[in-house]
Structure 1
Amino acid sequence: MADEVAKAVEECARAANLAAPSLATASDEAIDAALTAMAELLLSGRGAVLEANRDDVARARAEGMSAGLLDRLTITEERLTGMAEQLRLLAGAPHQERSIPLSTLDGGLRLVERRRPVGVIGANYEARPNVTVDIASQLVKSRNGGVLRTGSAALGSAQRLLETVIAPALSGAGIDAGVVQLVPRVEREAASALVGLPALVPLVILRGSGESTRALATEGATHGVRTLAHADGGGVLYLDVAADPEMVRTLVTGSLDRLGVCNRLNLLLIHDDGYDALWPVVAEALDGRGVTPSLAPHEHAIGYEWALDSEREATVTVARVAGLAEAVQVANEQTSGLAAGIATEDAAAAEAFFDGYTGTGVFWNAPTRLLDGFKLLAVPETGINLDNVPGPRGPVTYTDLYLRQYAVLPAGR
């Protein structure tokens, strides 16, 4: 069985590589026409897409999937319309410059930076069918082929999106539809196979629960496959002694509009000196969202990510800290490093928090829910990269999915 799964993944990779030149050489106009057509087909074919998604959701509910995971799996009318709007915005976004002059070298030679597609990029993600469109569209905009792999829960929705939206839009724009492949197998071995093909798929985007995603990143490294892994999340909010209570209420409420997402409020740190005044506001805001606080003494790690706990998603860890320095230390050392915010009316405190926190996104009187490619950059994202190395960090979009090449040319050329 494992050999059959690996063979299916490799066949998808070879098909995407065969079609990749069609996309790499496509004009900007053709690419944007394909993305616009995806938006139109998504809306005109919404009945078929929603029907496939309802089948996925019904099957998952019957199998006992938690409410939070079901929320991620569900495509509502509103979400489908939002997906189409994101596609339109992406179609109108500027294309990357393919050649950028840098300097003049000895003898009048010119140094130019060229930007080239990676070729074929893989993506492994779980029960979020909208990610099929998010990633496929980013790959098309960046002129990269793709091999997408999702789990059994969302496969029906993903297949319908590929067949009725993505493939016909590519074909209609004169681009080989085979450039975006969807692995037709649901076995977990398919994910391992995807990170084991360095010659065909040198880069794989990983989105999912912490342990499985980290394991895939490690496995990919042993094969020489680079990964952009989004394994862990959980937003942190520090309530400073100078926090405005109404701002606190707004931030807590706004950070918990969805519980099954990585950038939701996960850990709330409250300054000892402001605790008595702020706790009633926090308790009321949590209760309004149907969320239970986990108070000291904690029987779990302080940074435990509740979004990944199907039984206790509606939980936020609350802890007292002596001050800003301790809050920064906790956020840096005991959480994923995804995002942290400070609620305060003291500009000096906010600046100190910004200087101290080393994570991917930092916020002042703003919710960590904003750490999202579409909300920050007005284009969909492939995921959020938390690496502490040079390269794409934070929301990864089409502007990050290229290889840099140096070219030296004669003067005047």
Structure 2
Amino acid sequence: MMFHQELIEIGKKAKQAARQLAFASTESKNKALLAMAEALLDSEQEIVQANNLDVRAAEEKGIKKSLVNRLRLTSESISQISQSLREVVVLRDPVGEGEVWTRPNGLRIQQTRVPLGVVAMIYEARPNVTVDAAALCIKSGNVVILRGGSEALESNKVLARVIAKAAEESGLPQGCIQLITETNREWVQQLMRMNDYVDVIIPRGGAGLIQTVVKNATVPVIETGTGMCHAFVDREAEYEKAISIVINAKTQNPGVCNALETLLVDEVIAQDFLPRIGEELKKYHVELKGCPKTCEILPFALPATEEDWVAEHLDLVLSVKVVPHLDAALDHIYQYSTKHSETIITENYSRAQRFLREIDAAVVYVNASTRFTDGGRFGFGAEIGISTQKLHARGPMGLKELTTVKYMVYGDGQIVK
């Protein structure tokens, strides 16, 4: 494949920067992160102005409100992004961690954590990812190449320029944070095949984006998954607790991957519970797509189609199904889950434990909202994404997941006999 020369130059800069950044001290990386945090606050007005251009363009294109809200930056959100950088500063640096053991022949083997190298992030219209990804990569000693969605291009240009300048002025190598501003999809296709320059690609966005990267990349991919998240309200659920969890999981921020998409209700309590939760969801203007039994109990629910059980709505839409028992709930989740986040609401210990053991997902909850599946809420500072695969990383990805290991072996003339 012939690569654009500008893309090759980005790759060369990244590879050279990675050689230096891998050995940067924790102190120098933290110094850069603090400078980046301050630079964001100092550039707030410029960032908001650029973001307003993106938001207006998105609204003119008719992009749905929930996605526009993910795109929007305000003074408050910029302050939160800046604070997330400071939170990464206080996290333990995983680089250099490991263990040492000695073999009977006297060889001393040291396993130590090292950066992945050059990380390419391909993501959609969420400008906060620009900063989150850069922060975690810098702290873990990785160089990052960013390629955000075209809807957030103006915002990302300013954000990337501001934090890259701050990092380099703090002493980190030039090229440690780079943004691809070309929106031509051909560049993405090439980036996914730049094995000589990129060590790993992390896609973050909808199912279409993720599958495009997984199917077309020759560079290793850490797959972050779509969130087809379920909640099962068991026959021994506490109603007020269940209502609070469902409302939070669906409405607190419906446009994110850890938002609730399907509600399963045990038929033993359906006649009593569904009217209660239905009325609460109506207050939040949630549209319900229900199975025949749900529609019988809730006349305002629309009939669900097969597509509704696989849909990541990312909006105030919720699929609802009445199931006869826990086994049926487990079967439904097994069939439709994207292995992101699933929760059961119950006061029955045995059924809660079965749910935890038998559900195959990155995060499984008992009596808690799926909205907690987030690197920040897990204590990882910012996050690079939620991995739904099983190799290398799974669940919210923090600093440790951006490292690998190498073995350093100390000998004194030992040879294999």
TM-score, with structure 2 as normaliser: 0.92
Q: Is the 8 A contact 1:121 1:144 kept in 2?
A: yes
Alignment correspondent of 1:37? 35
| Aligned residue pairs, count | 400
Matches within 5 A, 1:13-412: 13-164=11-162, 166-220=163-217, 223=218, 225-255=219-249, 256-297=251-292, 298-307=304-313, 313-387=315-389, 389-410=390-411
What stretches of structure 1 move > 4 A for 4+ residues in a row? none
Deviation digits for residues 138-171 of structure 1 (CA, Å, limit 9, x no counterpart): 110111111110121111111101112x112212
Deviation at 1:99, TM superposition (A): 4.6
1:299 is aligned with what amino acid?
T
Q: CA shift at 1:288, angstroms? A: 2.2
- Residues 123 and 149 of structure 1 are in contact (CA less than 8 Å); yes or no, is this contact kept in structure 2? yes
Amino acid at match of 1:67: K
Q: List gaps (5 residues or longer) in structure 1.
A: none
- Alignment partners' CA distance in 2, 1:97 and 1:25: 9
Q: Considering only aligned residues, what root-mean-square deviation do their CA atoms show, in Å? A: 1.7
1:326 corresponds to which letter in structure 2?
A
Shift of the 19–371 alpha-carbon distance from structure 1 to 2, 3 Å rule, reads same
AA matched with 2:240: E
Q: Residue 279 of structure 1 aligns to which amino acid in structure 2?
A: L
Q: Quote the offset at 1:238 in angstroms.
A: 0.2
User: Which letter does structure 1 place at the counterpart of 2:273?
Assistant: L
Aligned to 2:298: none
8 Å CA contact retained: 1:306, 1:316: no
Question: Contact 2:380–2:398 at 8 Å: present in 1 too?
Answer: no
Letter in 2 for 1:401: L
Query: Aligned with 1:372: secondary structure?
Result: coil
The corresponding residue for 2:296 is: none
Cα shift readout 1:322-371 (whole Å, capped 9, x = no counterpart) = 11111112112212111100111111111111111111111111000000
Distance 1:335 1:285, change over 3 A: same
Q: Per-residue CA shift, 1:168-224, capped at 9, x if unaligned?
A: 22123211231111002012222211111112112000012212321211111xx2x
Question: TM-score under structure 1 normalisation?
Answer: 0.93
Structure 2 distance, partners of 1:237, 1:119, is: 38
Q: Find the aligned partners of 2:258 and 2:205 in 1 and give their Cα distance.
A: 13
Alignment partners' CA distance in 2, 1:197 and 1:68? 34
Letter in 1 for 2:356: F
Q: Distance in 1 between matches of 2:106 and 2:77?
A: 55
Q: Distance in 2 between matches of 1:35 and 1:159?
A: 18
Q: Is the 8 A contact 2:204 2:210 kept in 1?
A: yes
